[in-house]
Structures are given as C-alpha cells and as structure tokens.
Structure 1
Amino acid sequence: MTYFDRPSNIFIRVLIAALVSGCTVGPDYQRPTTDLPAKWSTELPNNQMDGKQNPQVWWQSFNDALLTSLITQARLGNRDLYQAEARIREARASRDLAIANILPSLSMNASASKNQPSNASRFGQVGQFSSAYNQFSHSLDASWEVDLWGKQRRSIESAEAGLDAAEEDLRDVLVSLYAEVAINYIDVRRYQNELIVAKESLKAQQENYDIAYWREQAGLVSRVDVLQAKQSVETTRADIPKYTSLLEQAKHGLAVLLGKQPAELNALLAQSAPIPAASNSIAIGIPADILRQRPDVRRSERELAAQTAQIGVAEAAAYPSFDLSGSIGVEALAAANLYTAAAKAFQLAVSSAWVLFDSGRIRSNVKMQTALQEQALGLYQNTILTALKEVEDSLIAYTQERQRCDALKASVTIGKDALTLAEQQYQAGTADFLTVLESQQSLLTAQNQLIESETEVASNLVTLYKALGGGWNQNEAKPVGTHS
C-alpha cells in the first residue's frame, strides 16, 4: 500500500485533485439571448433622421448654452449622484473583500507571561510549593481555506457583477438626472412665456375695456359691453398669480436637482427666454441599441449574473472544506534564550469539515438562490420590454405632438388676424363687442395651447432620449460625473 493509498490520506488526494482540476460548482453564467425587432414601429420623417447626432450629449441639440451649463452643474452637485457613487464604493469594497477571502491570512503574535502553578498541579507534588516561571513566545501564523469547489471564486464572480451593477446604477441616475434637469428647465421657460402672454393679453383687454367704457359714456354701446370687457380683464388677471407660482416652483425644483438651495437660481433665470427647440434631426438608432445603451437594462443583466453566481456559492456548502494552517516561531522560558536555535517551534495542520446532515438547509438554500436567479431573469426580460415600450411611447408622443404644434402655430396666426379685424370693426361700429371678446379669448386659448404644445414637443424629445439611454458615454472607463 502506497502513501496515497492509505485511508488516512484520502483527503490529501481529494485536495490535490481539486486544486489541479480547479473544480467550480454551480451554473456558469451566460448572457440571455433576446429577440428584438429590427426597427421601431413608429418611424420619424426622413428629414428628422440623423445618424451623426450624438445621443450621449443630446442636450446640445437644443443649442441652449444655459441648459448645457445647468446640466454640467447638476453633474457636479446633485446629491443623488453622491449616493450612487457611495454605492459603487460599497460594491468595490465588497468585491475586494471577496478577493481577500480566497487568499491566505498571515498574522504575527508575541506574548510574555509569568506563571505560578498551584501546589496540586502537575509541575509540583501535592503539598509542595511549585516555583513560578516565565514564558516568552514570538510566532508567525498563517491560515488558508482552500477553495476546492469554487465557493470563493463564485463569491468573487458575484461581487464583480455587483460592482458592475452599481456602476450601471450611477449611469442610470445620470440619465434620469439630465432628463429631469432639462424638463424642469423647459417648464421654467413655459411658465415665463405663459406669463408674458397673460400680461400682453391683459394689456390688450384693458385697452378694449377703456374703449368700451368711452363708447358707453358716449352712449354708443350698452353697459353690457363694459361689464363683459371688465370680466375678461379680471379673468386674465387671475391667471398671473397662478403662472408666477408655477414658475417659482419650477425654479426651486431645478435648483434642488443641481444640489443648490431653492432660491439660488432666481437671478440666473430672471430673464425670460423662448422654450428650447431642438433641431429636427434626431438619432434614435435601432432596438438592439437598448441592450448596449440603457443603464437600467445593463444593470439588470449584471444583477442576473451576480445572482447566478450565488447558486454556486450555495452548492459549494454541500462539499467538504479544507483548511491549511501553520505557525513558526520561538518559545523560551527566558527572554535571553528566545531567539536561539533551541527555541524554534513550528506547527503544520490540515483540517477538513463536511456537513453530513443539516435537515435540508443546504438544499433549501440552493433552491432559494435558484428561485432568486429566476426572478432576476424575469426582471431582466421585463426591463427590456419596458425599455422598448418607453421608446415607442416617446416616439409616438413626439411625432404626434409636432403635428399638433404645427397646427397650433397656424391657429395663432389666424387668431391674431381675426382679433385685429374684430377690433377694427368694433371701433367702426360694424361689429358688437362680443365678437371682440370671443376673438380675444380664442387667441389667448390658442397661444396657451401653443406654449403647452411647444413644451410637450421639447419634453417628449427629452423623454425619448432618456428612453434611449442617452446621457453617458459607454466608451469611458469611468462613469461620467463621478465626484471621487
């Protein structure tokens, strides 16, 4: 019988075989295959397609320097980004901890003690006094849990995927943040323009009221015209506080997104400006780009990979574990003899443990981790479907709102001409004041609808770029906007 055939050395053969083969239990992760359509169901007109535009900096298509500046400030000051970056540091530390667990540990120990045995101890005879003695030691200890079945390797695999998921989470925060900044900024411009329209309408209605009042004083019209004109003035005047409140709230919301106090942007946004209008050329790509560009899809895939590795961690618990330990040092009863040849001491040990019966705990844990992996797979597939839906919804909303906006522009032009004609006829006495009021109200409604539609067009375009996952550069090694 050879040395390795001895029953007492079976564990050594298992240890060597496992180290050579590099056995790793549990399923090896493979990215799920996904069938995606070749193109979007909603197509943009040919004059709105532009493959050269960069969706990673989509806000530049609005040609608004202030919007670009606000997005830059948000990247530097937003508090949600700080939290996302902290989650990356947490995931990186977790990955490093998993790597550390697979490596040996080394420690140094030193001790000095004075011992006084009892009279009844083995150092002296009962009834006799045993003298005290000193003991000194200095040792270097090492221990290593041999990763035979890949438990630690699967843990590292899971932690690496978790780190990837945390980085994608930061990118997802960036995508949402940039979109929210743009939409809030668009809302600021909307309410500014609605205020302008309301004040201009109030001024025109006040002038018509003055005309009606003078004509009533001259006996040319009845008191009804004056009352109707006054009602129109007060109705429009009531809109101004509403728009002012909405404007200030939009400014405050924008400031918080930038990590500033609510009133810090008041001076910067005091001057009114038109609603941002993007160029007609839009780069939407193909549905397959969703898998590469959308951080939430990428994050969900990495979470699936992390959970798949956890199955291997759970399965490894069913196999025996092996620990190697050793200690080398010196021991002596006198400090002067501590570092002499005679004081040398060492210890080598191999230990193993194998759970033979645990009432099904390991098996249940494997089933639980497998069920969690199936949930992660379902979440990943659903995230893709949701992403496709959001792009399709945004495309149809954007294209249809552009058509509505074009029609409202024509309506406003016609409304202005109709009001001018009605005012001229009223002053000439060939039309009643009701015609003027109806023309004023119709124009005001059309102007507000146009502002609303221009806001929707811009916001829908921002939402479209968000749905496409625009706002970060996948070629960068580090996520854009990190503060560390």
Structure 2
Amino acid sequence: MVSIRTAAPALLLILAGCVSGPDHKPPEMPLPAKFSEGGTKMNGDVASSQWWTAFGDSKLNAFAAQGLAQNLTIQQTLERINQAEAAVVTAGAGGLPSLTLSGENTTSGQRGTSALRSVTGTRNSTGASASVSWLLDLWGQYRRAQEGANASLDAAYSSVDAARLTYLQDLATSYVNARYYQSLVAIAQENLKSRRDTLSLTKFQLEAGAASRLDVVQAEGLVNSTLSTIPGYEIGYRQAVHHIATLLNVPSSTIIAQMQGGGKQPVFRGSVRSGVPADLIRNRPDIRIAERTLAASTAQIGVAEAKLYPSITLSGSISPSYIHNSGSTSGNLTSWSFGPTLNLPIFDGGALRAGVKNAQSSSRENYLAWQQTVRTAIQQVEDALSAVTRDAQTVAALHAQVKSYQEALQLSTASYKDGASSLLDVLDAQRNVTAAQQSLAQAVQSSANNYVLLNVAIGAGYVPASKANVAQAPAKVVKVSAKKVN
C-alpha cells in the first residue's frame, strides 16, 4: 500500500504538468498560388532590401539611414519592448514562491506618579518576521499567463519593424512629393519666361499696328495666371519638407538647406519581385503582430479556465521577538506557523465561466483579424503591382506628348512672328505645353509613389542592411495552407 507521504508529492508532480486551455497553433487559411499579375517565384527574406536606393538619390539614401536611428515613433516602439519584457516577468512571478521579511523595534516607558508613588520604567521590544507563500500552479494559470506575455513580447518586436516600415513609406513619399512640387515650380518659372517673351512680342506688334489691345491683355492674363500658381506649389514643397524634418527629428531649416537648388524627380528604373502571397506571412510585420496577438489571446483562455478549478496555497511564517524591561525581567519569544490553504470556487454567479467565454470570443475575433490582415496585405500588393506595371506606359506617352506640344509651340510662335497666325494659337500652345509638363511630373510622382507602396506592401526594407535587428527575438513564421483559391 502506498503511503500518503509518498503519494502526495507524486500527485503534485502530475498536477503540475496539467495546463488548462487550448495550445496555440499557427493559423491557416487558403491562399492563391500567385498574385493576379505576379509570378510564381517566391521571395526570400526582403527585410534588408534597401529598395529606395533604386532611385539613385543620395539625399534620400542619407535621410532613410538617418531616420531609422532618430525617428521618434520608432523610439517609442522600442520602449514598448521594455514594457513587454517587464510584463513577462510579472506574468510568471505569480507562480513562484514569494518571501517577505520585516523587522521592528519599539521603545516605550512610563514616568510620573501613581497611587502616591513614583513610577518610572522603559520597555524595549525587538521583533522580526518572515512570511513565505506559494500558490501551486496546478492548472497552469501562470504558465499560460507567461505564454501570453511572451507572445505579446514577440508582437512588440514586430511593432518596431512595422514602425520602421511606416517610417520608410512616409519618408520616401514625402521626399517624392517635395521633388514633385520643386518640378512644378521649375516648370512654372520656365513657362513664365516664355509667356513674358510672348507678352513683349505682342506689345511690340501693338506698337507696329500688327496686334490689338485685346491681344496684349490676353498675354498679360496668361502671365499673371502663371504667377498665381507658383505660391501654391511652394507651399506644397515647404509642407513636404517640414514633414521630412519631423520624421528625421531635426529642425526644418536643416532640411530646407539640403533641398535647396532643386533636384530631379526620383525615377524608379528596374523591376520589383513581388513574390507570392505566402511570402507575406513571413515578411509583413503587421501580419506577425496579428498572429502573435492571436497567440496571446489563446493563452488567456487557459488563464480563465484555470480559475474554475480549486487552488492550493502553501504559506508559512516565523516571528522571533525579544523584550527587555529596565529594572525587571527580559525574555524572547518565537512563534511560527505553516499550512496549506485550499480555495474552492463554488458559486460566483457565473462570473468565472463568463470569463472563459469572453476569452474564447476574443481569440476567435483575433483569428478573424489575422485573416483580414492577410487579405488586406494581398490586396495592397496587387493594387501596387497593377499600378507599377502600367506607370511606365503612362510616363512614356506623356514624354511624347510634351515633346509634340513643345514643337507645336515653336511652330505657332514662329508663325505668329511672321503674321501667319493669331496670338490665340500661341497662347493655346503654351497652355498645352504647361498642362502636358504638369501631367508628366504628376505621372512621375505617381510612378515613384507606387514603387514605394509596392515595396512596403511586400514588407521590404525595415531592417538596416548594415545592422542586425535591434530585437533579436523575431516573431515566429506562420505556415499557411498551400491550397489554391478557385
């Protein structure tokens, strides 16, 4: 017959292996084998891809490196890692023994008269106590809590990656926009010179009797119209530069000084490997955050279920004390206690079971959120891929249009000088040139921004190529079903 002394430790070991609640399993969902306009070749790890260098712009390259080290939003997410690490310690602490020590010393006395006699005396009391408590984690409540905290820590690491990716998108887009507005200013100034030349020619012909006052007024109107557009372009440029300064955490004057003198619009040349939808599970930080959030909420089911079962707490204390009375006896006393405490949740109005249902519902919600994040990521890649594959055609056609309208302006101007055509033909040609040049600048801007969006959509470039990731605990890679969507 097995004695209670032998069976009790064995029973505790068996119960210690019990963990309530379901184990987290990587979520799965059917994904298409390829993007609608992509290939079937998979991407590797694209986290270190410095895609912005394809623009060949040294200032943009410097800004990207500078901001990855100085951006305030990224620094905030780094602090969240410290918070998540502390939460892991806190979550696991409940399942460990706790020890509390305390000590005290009290001096008391009397002085005066009592019953017609003098009373004096001093009492010195010194004591200490040590208390220990250990809640046996029989059903894995604290192990599940620590599991959930570790998943949240993984999500915090991925949040840094997501912040870097957002920063790169914001910076590159702002830089592209700043150069776009600079191009519009340059176009307006170039056209302003041409229209002023036309105004001078018209005034000369008015004096010669070959033009009317109406012609002069129309030419003046076009000059003033051009002048009115320049301040708006400069406002757009300044706002983009101010935002870049905010992203880099530097004064605006610093960026304005570096951007002065203008510069060509960033033009992407080359191709982008979009990979396949399954690559996004590994490369997109927001998908990893969603998966780790799901893992944390799954662990909370176990925490809630463990509260339904009995719990045992082992506790004990020891309190030695020493008392000294002046002029009389002294002595010491030591008291101690030890014993288990059993807690049985019998009736709570259904609160504990409601807690389990709440945790289960939260887990299902986070699974649906993970699915939605994956679907949204696929859409973002397909949208950007569709744009990038067509932008080059638009830019090429607009280049040809600008060239044609510039030739038409030269011909109409020469014809006007010879008196073979009217001023209206020249003004129309100038308007056409301006509109075509602005459309071309906008198309180049859109092409560059779509290139940025595509790289961000596939999750590329958030880790500096020359440095290891600040968080050396990347989130787990989640496997998905290889089934194709019909």
Smaller-chain TM-score bracket: 0.7 to 0.9
Pairing 1:41–2:36 present: yes
Pairing 1:25–2:28 present: no
1:370-385 matches, cutoff 5 A: 370-385=360-375
| Counterpart residue identity of residue 232, structure 1 | L
In structure 2, the partner of 1:166 is 156
SS of match in other structure, 2:258: coil
In structure 2, the partner of 1:255 is 245
Pick aligned residue for 1:308 from 298, 301, 305: 298
In structure 2, the partner of 1:233 is 223
SS of match in other structure, 2:254: coil
Pair 1:51–1:479, CA change in 2 (3 A): closer
Pair 1:97–1:346, CA change in 2 (3 A): same
Pairing 1:57–2:50 present: yes
Contact 2:134–2:314 (Cα < 8 Å) also in 1: yes
Deviations along 1:96-125, whole A, 9 cap, x unmatched? Answer: 111222221222222334689xxxxxxxxx
Pick aligned residue for 1:15 from 4, 12, 16: 12
1:214-225 matches, cutoff 5 A: 214-225=204-215
Deviates more, 1:107-116 or 1:458-467: 107-116
Deviations along 1:348-395, whole A, 9 cap, x unmatched? Answer: 321121111111110001001111111111111001011111111111
In structure 2, the partner of 1:126 is none
Contact 1:53–1:283 (Cα < 8 Å) also in 2: no
Deviations along 1:211-266, whole A, 9 cap, x unmatched? Answer: 11101110122223222211111111111111111111111111111123344321
Unaligned runs of 5+ in 2: 110-118, 326-331, 473-486
Pair 1:313–1:54, CA change in 2 (3 A): closer
Q: How far apart are residue 28 of structure 1 and its match? A: 0.4
1:404-443 matches, cutoff 5 A: 404-443=394-433
1:320-359 matches, cutoff 5 A: 320-328=310-318, 330-333=320-323, 346-359=336-349
Q: How far apart are residue 27 of structure 1 and its match? A: 0.6
SS of match in other structure, 1:30: coil
In structure 2, the partner of 1:123 is none
Percent identity reads 34
Deviates more, 1:469-478 or 1:202-211: 469-478
Contact 2:46–2:460 (Cα < 8 Å) also in 1: no
Pick aligned residue for 2:60 from 61, 67, 72: 67
Q: How far apart are residue 477 of structure 1 and its match? A: 5.0
Q: How far apart are residue 144 of structure 1 and its match? A: 1.3
In structure 2, the partner of 1:387 is 377
Contact 2:281–2:288 (Cα < 8 Å) also in 1: yes
Contact 2:241–2:256 (Cα < 8 Å) also in 1: yes
Contact 2:38–2:276 (Cα < 8 Å) also in 1: no
Q: How far apart are residue 139 of structure 1 and its match? A: 4.0
Q: Distance in 2 between matches of 1:52 and 1:309?
A: 29
SS of match in other structure, 1:430: coil
1:223-302 matches, cutoff 5 A: 223-302=213-292
Contact 1:171–1:479 (Cα < 8 Å) also in 2: no
Pair 1:357–1:140, CA change in 2 (3 A): same
Contact 1:426–1:436 (Cα < 8 Å) also in 2: yes
Unaligned runs of 5+ in 1: 117-128, 336-341
In structure 2, the partner of 1:86 is 79
Pick aligned residue for 1:469 from 436, 449, 459: 459
- Would you say how many aligned residue pairs link Structure 1 and Structure 2? 455
In structure 1, the partner of 2:179 is 189
TM value normalised by structure 2: 0.86
Q: How far apart are residue 476 of structure 1 and its match? A: 4.3
Pairing 1:107–2:87 present: no
Q: Distance in 2 between matches of 1:174 and 1:393?
A: 22
| Counterpart residue identity of residue 311, structure 2 | S
SS of match in other structure, 1:109: strand
Contact 1:51–1:282 (Cα < 8 Å) also in 2: no
Q: How far apart are residue 279 of structure 1 and its match? A: 2.4
| Counterpart residue identity of residue 54, structure 2 | S
Return the structure number with greater relative CO, CA threshold 8 A, min gap 6: 2
Contact 2:312–2:343 (Cα < 8 Å) also in 1: yes
Q: How far apart are residue 401 of structure 1 and its match? A: 2.2
SS of match in other structure, 1:288: helix
| Counterpart residue identity of residue 368, structure 2 | G
In structure 1, the partner of 2:170 is 180
Pair 1:226–1:200, CA change in 2 (3 A): same
Q: How far apart are residue 330 of structure 1 and its match? A: 3.8
Q: How far apart are residue 479 of structure 1 and its match? A: 4.3
Q: Distance in 2 between matches of 1:70 and 1:414?
A: 37
Pairing 1:202–2:192 present: yes
Pairing 1:478–2:478 present: no
